[in-house]
A and B are shown apart, each in its own frame.
Chain A
């Protein structure tokens, strides 16, 4: 135990001697969570539109104002030639072109049918889908309004249908509520996996591992002593990012905070252990970095359900999702934050996370003996 204490002290001293590390370890995650939490939204808002107004009448302007006044569109410019507008679309300065024909005003006035054209840039398929639906709706509503205006006075009023949309499990349907816990989990993973993956290989590269070899340290003492300081940093980061999520983004923490913290510890066990395993498998820090970025961080970002729903993935790829610890932690974090559920709902995930952490730690410890021998 005393030997363990010495090792921990040595590691802490090394950290202290690198004072630039601290702002990065503690300020960067807070800053990143704040920025990224706002950015990660799939809402369709302010779609840039260019209007070709071939009519330039009060009637056409009123339809254009309807577009500009809605939260979904933002009219960039009104041009008179279709060519100029299409160029905006090609340049990517506009996502949509709304074309009103020269006879628009007259047709509206006389009550004859008239068509307006909408050209959408389909590159961003989901946003385009929604934007097109909104555009169609705005035009239909304008048409209904015109029809109402032409009704003779005293005609019976016509009602409308309104949709009451209720979203289950995320009632405010906020991308933030969904994404902030995810970004939080990823940031924790990045920081602790980086620290862990550099832990042993740095000594290897600098040649000081030999010195550790000749000390009477046991294998598990080496693992624990190396990771304890990083675990401490990880725990502080857990508090910081959970604080940002709760107090800054005001994500409702519906479940138990204690449970969240305990399971975060288990998660840190996985990410630190994973880092350490990489560290023992690599001979240079560069290799350790490559391995952890390409083989752990990429899959965690894309296959964990962080952004893309797992059930949308092809059946052959879905199993990969279930060997990623982040998949389980995300279910847990989102469950505690958004659904307010406890262990009774996600005990399989919690158990999987624990098994994962223990396995990877054991592997890393066994490996480190090999490198020591």
Chain B
């Protein structure tokens, strides 16, 4: 342990001498959370909608008003021809349009299928998909509703109604969903970046021989290498979480102790990932490249940060199990949004423990072999 501390002190000296790196590690993450937390938002409320109603009946008005009442669409234009719609869409003044054809009510009463048209600007597929799903659901819902009303006049219909409740994020603010993801991403990246060069640097500079000869066990060496970065990363991560609470009203419904445990596990795993990369390669350039490839895009795309894992194809879902942020995000969102205790998300916490041990273990094995 004393020897581990000695390595830690040496590492700390090195960090302190490189002020730029230290400042970046400590404060830039919080600054970025601020910047991106404000910037990122994919609320699809107030989609600007143009309406072309060729029907003007009670039914067509019912359809239009359910688009408006959904609070996701704002009618900004009522037009009389499809040319107008094209014009508005091309100039980006509306992002969606609803076209109700003549004869819709007649078709309904006549037992035929009436078709209404919805046009969506798909240039951002991510938000367009949500608008698409929502518009589809609205039309189907109105269709069922109108059927009921028409039949209801003749027979006693049993209306089943839905009483929806939304937990944890009742206003459905996308910020509450994205900010925890952003926290996980920033922590993961700054940890991996801080350790992935630490061992390979010694190899490249030729100081590795001294480490090899030093009377210290591999495990103490790894522990010593990790401790200073652990302290820095944990401090910076807590700073980010505090910033999120102040700036974005991120709630804290669970316990700080639980959060601290989960955060520490995640930080250790992320630092270990960097160390492992560092033991696997011979040049800093390669370490840089590999650590980005394993942490940058996978943490954005495969962690459930932005894209729901349940919607991915099964083989890809299996791959997400090796992305540590996947587990951390469930725990973090659970603690801050739902107020869960650690034992409630025990399997995720367990996975974080296993991940941390696995990467650190592998790094030790690699390192022991390198030291001969």
Contact = CB atoms under 8 A, between A and B. Distances in A.
B41 A312 contact: yes
A170 to B, nearest CB: 3
B2 interface: no
Contacts of A113: 158-161
A291 B118 CA distance: 46
Contacts of A43: 129, 133, 311
B221 to A, nearest CB: 19
Interface stretch (A185-193, A261-269, A357-365): A185-193
Interface string B266-287: 0000000000000001111110
B117 A164 contact: yes
B129 A129 contact: no
B204 interface: yes
Of listed A89, A133, A285, residue having the most chain B CB within 10 A: A133
Nearest to A177: B125
B147 A158 contact: yes
B32 to A, nearest CB: 6
A293 B189 contact: yes
A168 B89 contact: yes
B138 to A, nearest CB: 7
A289 B205 CA distance: 17
Majority SS of interface residues in chain B? helix
Of listed B115, B300, B333, residue having the most chain A CB within 10 A: B300
B148 A144 contact: yes
A68 to B, nearest CB: 14
10 contacts: A122-B172, A123-B177, A128-B166, A147-B158, A155-B151, A166-B118, A173-B120, A286-B197, A290-B20, A317-B39
Contacts of A24: 286, 289-290, 293
B108 A114 contact: no
A140 B144 contact: yes
Majority SS of interface residues in chain A? helix
A209 to B, nearest CB: 14
A309 B115 CA distance: 31
A302 B288 CA distance: 21
A186 B297 contact: yes
A190 B20 CA distance: 22
B124 interface: yes
Contact of B113 (A125, A150, A159, A289): A159
Interface of B: 18, 20-21, 24-25, 28, 32, 35-36, 38-44, 63, 70, 72, 89, 104, 107-130, 132-148, 150-152, 154-170, 172-174, 176-177, 189-190, 193, 196-197, 201, 204-205, 281-286, 288-290, 292-293, 296-298, 300-302, 306-308, 310-313, 316, 319-320, 330, 333-334, 337-338, 340, 344-345
B288 A173 contact: no
B160 A139 contact: yes
Interface in A301-334: 301-303, 305, 307-309, 312-314, 317, 320, 334
A18 B288 CA distance: 14
Contacts of A179: 125-126
Contact of A121 (B123, B126, B168): B168
Given A118-B164, A148-B151, A307 B126 contact: yes
Interface in A150-171: 150-152, 155-171
A136 interface: yes
Interface string A116-140: 1111111111111110111111011
B174 A125 contact: yes
B74 to A, nearest CB: 15
A130 B134 contact: yes
A194 B292 contact: yes
B117 A36 contact: no
A178 B196 CA distance: 32
A312 B109 CA distance: 42
Contacts of B338: 90, 121, 123
B334 A92 contact: yes
Interface in A20-75: 20-21, 24-25, 28, 32, 35-36, 38-48, 63, 74
B137 A133 contact: yes
A108 B234 CA distance: 57
A165 B136 CA distance: 8
Contacts of B142: 161
B130 A90 contact: no
Given A133-B137, A164-B117, 20 more contacts: A28-B290, A36-B298, A42-B127, A114-B161, A115-B162, A119-B167, A136-B164, A147-B158, A148-B151, A150-B156, A161-B113, A162-B114, A163-B117, A163-B140, A168-B119, A173-B128, A179-B125, A183-B297, A202-B285, A302-B39
